[in-house]
Amino acid sequence: MRLAAQLAEREINARGGLRGRPLQLVFADDSARDTVAIRIARRFRDDSRMVAVVGHVTSVATLAAAPVYAAGGDPLPLISPSASSPDLSGISPSFFRVCPSDLAHGPRLARFVRQRLHATTVGLIYLNDDYGRGVRRTFAAEFIRLGGRLVADDPTLPSTPLEPFLARMRRRGGVDALVLAVERPTAELALRDLAALGLRWPVVGGDALTGLSGPQAEGVHISSAYLPDRPGARNAAFIDAYARTYPGQTLDHRGAGAYDVLHLLERLINEGGADRRAIRDRLAKVGRSEPAFEGVTGTIAFDEAGDVPGKPVMIGVVRNGRLVSEVAP
């Protein structure tokens, strides 16, 4: 996310900046913790030099920070590339995001598992937080509607060994697929434990698994708002510039989303000024009375809740350590 944002910053400033002034990015790390996110939000909101925030990365941090940015006499617009919790929809008039919510990821995964993998039984392990519960709830509802059955539906916490959950699924007769609504470190534990138990169930998961790599990750399917090999001249130019600027670095949906947010802000500020309220008001019109924005992640058009309901969720597969589009047989 940071690298892609810096690439956008260089491109914008090479074209003359924002209304003749250079764009300057200020970075802060919230460590995916709500208390830290709140402190950062207060500092940014109270700094008159700040005109917009690109972030936060996680739903937990964004849920905590969004009301802070919206408070006071001069709210600060907040646009997240990746915070996907359904609870963020409409959380404040100043909040927007360029990624689909978990309400889109869960059903898309369910349709893939049922219709593409032809799975009738699933074991589901989910992180017991806003993200995990959101994906779990929406996946389960759609999978059951399609005629599938959950053999197991287990909450977990970060760094909790998953071998007991997997062994119990095996005793119950196994599953056609394992669904992981967890973050990457927990998924890595699951893949290790699957290998130790000699289980070869297909594994699928939400976008929090992005970055999963290594031999055991080969063939894992992951939902995402963006895949680097998506077609289009704009995305191809972005991929080329990113590869030349950061050789060997892997790009994901968070970076692509941040890149799009900054170029969207470039358009709005150059056309309408850098006043916070003006930026917020024009963001709210993007895709309605303002033209939609065609970014590397696709078309950005906000609804009244600050969401992008037209953005599709894609399913990628890990091949040689990279998440790529799967070619249909």
* Cα-only R_g, the chain: 20
Domain assignment present for 321 = no
Q: Give the per-residue pLDDT at 131.
A: 82
Domain assignment present for 319 = no
Residues 129 and 212 in one domain: yes
Alpha-helix runs per DSSP H in 172-252:
184-197, 233-245
Residues 220 and 107 in one domain: yes
Domain assignment present for 76 = yes
SS3 318: strand
Print pLDDT tens along the chain (329 aa).
999 999 999 999 999 999 999 999 999 999 999 999 999 999 999 999 999 999 999 999 999 999 999 998 999 999 999 998 889 999 999 999 999 998 899 999 999 999 999 999 999 999 998 788 889 999 999 999 999 999 999 999 988 889 999 999 999 999 999 999 999 999 999 999 999 999 999 999 999 999 998 999 999 999 999 999 999 999 999 999 999 999 999 899 999 999 999 999 999 999 999 999 999 999 999 999 999 999 999 999 999 999 999 999 999 999 988 899 975 43
Residues 202 and 255 in one domain: no
Residues 109 and 216 in one domain: yes
Matching residue, tokens 């992180």: 127
Q: Which of 224, 252, 271 is the last residue of a domain?
A: 224
Domain assignment present for 48 = yes
Domain assignment present for 175 = yes
Residues 95 and 241 in one domain: yes
Distance CA 88, CA 92 (A): 8
Domain assignment present for 140 = yes
Residues 110 and 210 in one domain: yes
Q: Which of 208, 224, 240 is the last residue of a domain?
A: 224
Q: Give the per-residue pLDDT at 96.
A: 98
pTM of the model: 0.91
Q: Which of 191, 224, 257 is the last residue of a domain?
A: 224
Rounded to the nearest 5°, which phi and psi values hold at 205? -160, 175
| 121 Cβ contact list (under 8 Å, min separation 6) | 148, 149, 150, 151, 173, 174, 175, 176, 177
Give the Å distances, CA to CA, from 273 to 70, 86, 290: 20, 31, 15
Number of compact structural domains in the chain: 2
Q: Give the per-residue pLDDT at 230.
A: 92
Q: Give the per-residue pLDDT at 327.
A: 54
Residues 263 and 193 in one domain: no
| 224 Cβ contact list (under 8 Å, min separation 6) | 207, 210, 252, 253, 313, 314, 315, 316, 323
For residue 16, the domain's CATH number is 3.40.50.2300
Distance CA 167, CA 54 (A): 42
Q: Give the per-residue pLDDT at 108.
A: 95
Domain assignment present for 325 = no
Domain assignment present for 199 = yes
Residues 45 and 77 in one domain: yes
Q: Give the per-residue pLDDT at 319.
A: 93
Residues 216 and 292 in one domain: no
Residues 126 and 197 in one domain: yes
Give the Å distances, CA to CA, from 259 to 19, 182, 239, 302: 19, 25, 11, 17
Strands 177-181 and 203-205: parallel
Residues 118 and 184 in one domain: yes
Residues 112 and 172 in one domain: yes
User: The domain containing residue 26 runs over which residues?
Assistant: 2-100+232-312
Matching residue, tokens 């993007």: 286
